[in-house]
Homo-oligomer: A and B are copies of this chain.
């Protein structure tokens, strides 16, 4: 996913300085039973909150992040003027769609992440080294179970005003509506899908093969300071193509060369689109862990609500929330048809569902970018929810 770089750092519309907190769930009550059959304990969760929880604890909004996101969704960690704000600062802050004057916004790094929560890059207490490939496989359902511990057991919130997220974040939103129907008032899956298509699995597999073919990967036994950078960078480049759209690429880069109008007759970057991808790859390697990438993409691949519940309509039979499903016209990774299939199933299951297919040439990444109508659609839905039930 792209990092949004749109927000101007002003105190006016920013949540300002924030810090990531952690909580560790341990003891007999917190033995995580994974969908794979394995168990895991203890589990640490990194999270941030913005705004204030109301006395009746009814104004909490849970934000679920995507493949390469983290708990730092808004505000700033340092006072450095060049620091970029959290990844969804576009949406979270005073007067923004997730209005921190009204809502208590929570975002946690999901189970299996590499930004503070327990995952493949965490130290395995049994060996004193990173888990690496000894980390058990986890699923979206497992991620959501751990988020529930955070929300209910740690923060004392029994019902969320809303759960919202894009891409893999949207899959978690759907899982919340299914796993904990009593705890969700509104669900906003954005640019999501109820099951990964074989094409999306194929792209993930090629990305994984890029990592696992890098000799520095060493069957997952690399030292944190010597990642399989070439493979991980390549994985990111592959992913990044799928996050954009052909039209967005044409608009941003066209066929422009790096040096003027002439072909360089060379390998390596000659077109601007190539140097952009190289930059995406190399900066990603500095902030993400290769083994984690393998596990999270696998969790995405395994996501299939139809298979889990017999049908998509069945999957939502117990859900009690209102839904706002959002897709983007130029998203070809999880195309609008995925959202429309979801909407159809929700309607057949008799659920309260709104759908918005937002016109945009920004591709899958549109949910992270300014310049489309997502914000106002989200605002309208969250406000309307306040008058429901």
A231 on the B face (CB < 8 A): yes
Name which residue of chain B comes closest to A137, CB basis: B265
Q: How far is the CA of A302 from the CA of B270 in the complex (A)?
A: 10
Report if A202 contacts B (CB, 8 A). Answer: yes
CB-based contact A198/B265 at 8 Å: no
Q: Does A206 contact B (CB under 8 A)?
A: yes
How far is B301's CA from A373's CA once the two chains are assembled, in angstroms?
Answer: 35
A54 CB-CB contact with B under 8 Å: no
- Near B by CB (< 8 A), chain A positions 244-267 give 244, 246, 249-250, 252-255, 263, 265-267
Find out whether the CB atom of B208 lies under 8 angstroms from the CB atom of A231.
Answer: no
How far, in Å, is A171 (CB) from chain B's closest CB? 15
Closest B residue by C-beta to A276: B202
Given contacts A201-B271, A249-B202, contact A255 B304 (CB under 8 A): yes
Q: Is A48 an interface residue (CB 8 A)?
A: no
The answer to whether A214 touches B213, judged by C-beta atoms less than 8 angstroms apart, is: yes
Q: Known A206-B237, A265-B36; judge A197-B301 contact (CB<8 A).
A: no
Nearest Cβ on chain B to A193's Cβ, whole angstroms: 12
Interface string of A213-254 (1 = CB under 8 A from B): 111000000000000001100100110010010100110111
Confirm or deny: A205 has a beta carbon within 8 angstroms of a beta carbon on chain B.
yes
Q: A230-B213, A249-B197, A267-B212 are in contact. Are A202 and B241 (CB under 8 A)?
A: yes
Q: What is the minimal beta-carbon distance from A327 to any residue of chain B, in angstroms? A: 15
Cβ distance A271 to chain B, nearest Cβ, rounded Å: 5
Are A198 and B36 also in contact (CB < 8 A) when A213-B230, A237-B206 are?
no
A209 contacts chain B at the CB level, 8 A cutoff: yes
In the complex, whether A343 has a CB less than 8 A from a CB of chain B is no
CA distance A203 to B253 in the complex (A): 14
Q: How far is the CA of A27 from the CA of B104 in the complex (A)?
A: 80
- Write 23 A-B pairs (CB below 8 A) sorted by A numbering: A195-B255, A196-B255, A198-B249, A198-B254, A198-B255, A198-B271, A199-B241, A201-B273, A201-B274, A202-B237, A202-B241, A202-B273, A202-B274, A205-B269, A206-B237, A209-B234, A209-B278, A209-B281, A210-B234, A212-B267, A267-B294, A267-B298, A332-B332
Q: What would 16 more interface pairs be, CB under 8 Å, given A198-B246, A205-B274, A246-B335?
A: A197-B249, A198-B254, A198-B273, A199-B244, A201-B255, A202-B241, A202-B273, A202-B277, A205-B277, A208-B267, A210-B213, A210-B234, A213-B230, A215-B215, A267-B298, A332-B332
